[in-house]
Amino acid sequence: MRHTLVALMEDRPAALNRVLGLLRGRALAVYSIAFGESETPGVRRITIVVETTDVQQTIKQLNRLIEVLEVTDVTNAEYVVRETALVKIHAPEQQREEIRTVAEGFGAKIVGICGPTVVFEMTDTPDRLGEMIERAKVFGACETMRSGSLAMALGVTTSPTEVPAREEIGRPWWQADGAC
Amino acid sequence: MTEERFPFPVPVPASGFPPPASRLPPPERTGAQVMCEALLRENVEVMFGIPGGAIMPFYHAMWEYRDCLRHVLCRHEQGAGHAAEGYARSTGKPGVCVATSGPGATNLVTPIANAWMDSTPLVAITGQVSSAVLGKDAFQETDITGITLPITKHNYRVTRAEDLPSVFHEAFHIARSGRPGPVLIDVTKDTQQARVVPDWDVTLNVPGFRPTSAIDQHAVRAAASLLTNASKPLILAGHGVIISGAVAELRALAERTGIPVVTTLHGIGAFPEDHPLSIGMPGMHGWVHVNRAIQECDVLINIGARFDDRVTGKASTFAPRARVIHIDIDPSEIGKNVKVAVAIIGDARSALTALLEEIPPRDAAIWLNDIRESQATHQHRQPYLRRPETTELMPHDVYAALNAALNERGGYRVVTDVGQHQMWAAQLIEWRRPRTHITSGGAGTMGFAVPAAMGAAIAHPDETIWAIVGDGGFQMTNQELATINQEGIRNVKVAIVNNGYLGMVRQWQQLFEGKRYSGTPLSGPSFAGLAEAYGLRGFTIDRIEQAQDSICAAWDHDGSAVLDFRVEREANVFPLVPPGSSIGEMITREASHA
């Protein structure tokens, strides 16, 4: 099953390599990955969309990495997910207006025009982006680029299986699925 | 045989820090001097390695510390890595190996992977090309941190000498804490040469590495309740018992509850095999009565083992009637291969201490009696193997003689390699003490035994270290006999179980591939002659009556020795669970003799 994981990790050299290497080594398919600064200096937040049959095992494996501070599976939580796509379309002058109308229908906006091509940008859910790109192909989309999913859980904690603060004595957070 | 020793004096390590201040111009140091002092601060007394261009500044500095930081020059970096592993596995302290950049570093990959699979604390130090040419395909440049990403707990590339104190401290902390494992430190040449005033006031700041935690008392009570109410409980003891020093606690648990104890390959020595509750080794080459007990038990408590596939066979059919309790320090092992009813996360010693507070005395005499009856029917330590008319020496004769000598004399450790001889050793020697059985388990690295025995011999100069090895594995790393001679190591005795085949592969070819012995017949030199050429004592044994005398002569010889036991070529290891099968489906002897 496809899971959306959100992780916090220390910004150490090769941290992203380690995450990807681990997932590859465990034979898990990665659909998208988005990696950037978090609100804390020196800490990165990463969203990974991964196919796994045992997400708890995947989370525990990620937690073995020294730089990984926390991993949350938001798949079954209330969360928002957004992705940005850039799409370049061959657009002769006479089609521009129609393209603009369709784009606006999807909530996309044109961000660049050069010669016979236009580039528009859209931020939405991955599914909606997929629909938009399919539609754009009808117009002769020649180049697409997607950012990978960004996910954020709603509310204070990020997952139903989430878990007491790390400092809490007695029952470490990674034991959430542990005993009994 | 020769009594000549290497003509240069071998530095004798002395403990203690700091080294005499007179030779150090305070307060500035080179990065390489900082590396040496960092090692001393971590109580390192010996390291195994080979110099080369990118690590030369470290070797230059090492000379100043040679009376307190011993360097053992190996003949191949793989040997250096395994020697460090042998040192670590026999002492519990991190082993240290050193190599230069490029091929030196890549030759360490196998021992690093081996340490990763077998949870061995290992710190590998590699030189790297100077920062100025890093990433430019410089001479002997290899991205060793990239290569070792998936087989290290963590690794570092150091490009600033100021970082060395904290990196070394962190590396040793990570290597030995929690579930031990390998850490690699790659230091660029200019960092080793840079001058710096080291700041030793380093505090650990590794928020993502929290290897220990309080034991979950709810889980402990649940485990105690399961064990108390079980009618057929079984203890499966693994490497974690030995690593965490929980041998006494394991024994207390077994004796209080009367629960029979199974020890995995790496758990050998965690529980004495002459104890009435010890029933032996499980798994692919485990005893029939042990595997049957696993398949019949109703509660199985796994203490510090990881349910490796060589133990479980086909995992979905493993211990089908059992509710499983799993004690492991690594949360990712819980539920990885076998479904678990109760998980206790923590080191085996803390977990067992907590469990002992909760669990009342009981006994399991009827159950133990069942197992013993099954054992009487199925376990034959010696005689079940045929003795073909044409041969003089069976492998089992070698082990019988060795077992007798070990138990009579004491003061030994045994390092085994990988293959048939390894399984025979696990089966046929009566193991009693922790850290006396050292082998390559998870990675199955042929060539492990000779260098690892050398490392163990340096750590324990007063003991006799036996390396049991096949003729295949011996020929992979026997160059370290030269190191043994040069270093004046007198307590390594190598027993080669020589059958002229890569025996375990040949056995599988015989049993599963219609005797097509593709790529398995193996020749070699006269191993006794080879030993003599290296300045060690050599023995050749091909008759039963020579075995005991040769073992005693080698043991009494004041120097390292090699014993070439020329055994029946096509003897097999039984019992055997065919790969992919349930451990309930064992082959106990060759079909023609069934």
Tell me if residue B291 falls in helix, strand or coil. helix
Residue of higher predicted confidence among B90 and A118? B90
DSSP A119-166: EEEEEE-HHHHHHHHHHHHHTTEEEEEE---EEEESSSSS-TT----T
Distance from CA of A30 to the nearest CA of B (A): 17
pLDDT at A100: 87
Residue A178: pLDDT over 90: no
* Contacts of residue B564, Cβ cutoff 8 Å, sequence gap at least 6: B496, B498, B526, B527, B528, B538, B539, B540, B541
Q: Does B150 touch chain A (CB under 8 A)?
A: yes
Q: What's the rounded mean pLDDT across residues A53-57?
A: 94
Quick one: how far is CA B541 from the chain centroid?
Answer: 27
Q: Which two tokens stand for residue A128?
A: 């909606």
Tell me if residue B238 falls in helix, strand or coil. coil
Which residues of B fall within a CB distance of 8 Å from A67?
208
pLDDT category of residue A169 using cuts at 50, 70 and 90: very low
DSSP state of B68: T
Residue type at position B47: M
pLDDT at A98: 87
Which residues of A fall within a CB distance of 8 Å from B345?
172, 174-175, 178
pLDDT category of residue A95 using cuts at 50, 70 and 90: confident
pLDDT at B210: 85
Average pLDDT over chain A reads 84
On whether the CB atoms of residues B298 and B321 are closer than 8 A, the answer is yes
Spot the catalytic one: B284, B504, B507, B509: B504
On whether the CB atoms of residues B161 and B194 are closer than 8 A, the answer is yes
Residue of higher predicted confidence among A77 and B425? B425
Tell me whether residue B189 is one of the annotated catalytic residues: yes
Calculate ∠ Cα B367-B372-B376, nearest 5°. Answer: 150
Q: Does A178 touch chain B (CB under 8 A)?
A: yes
On whether the CB atoms of residues B237 and B304 are closer than 8 A, the answer is yes
Q: Does A10 touch chain B (CB under 8 A)?
A: yes
Distance from CA of A27 to the nearest CA of B (A): 13
Indicate the pTM of the whole model.
0.91
Verify whether the Cβ–Cβ distance A178 to B219 is below 8 Å. yes
- CA–CA dist B571, A61 (Å, integer): 41
- CA–CA dist B454, B481 (Å, integer): 9
pLDDT at B22: 44
- CA–CA dist A147, B260 (Å, integer): 57
pLDDT at A166: 36
Q: What's the rounded mean pLDDT across residues A26-49?
A: 94
pLDDT at B392: 79
Q: What is the pLDDT of residues B461-489, one digit of tens each?
A: 999 999 999 999 999 999 999 999 999 99
Segments of chain B scoring below 70 in pLDDT: 1-25, 380-391, 590-594
Provide the ipTM: 0.84
Q: Which residue of B has its CA nearest to A12?
A: B156
Verify whether the Cβ–Cβ distance B206 to A69 is below 8 Å. no
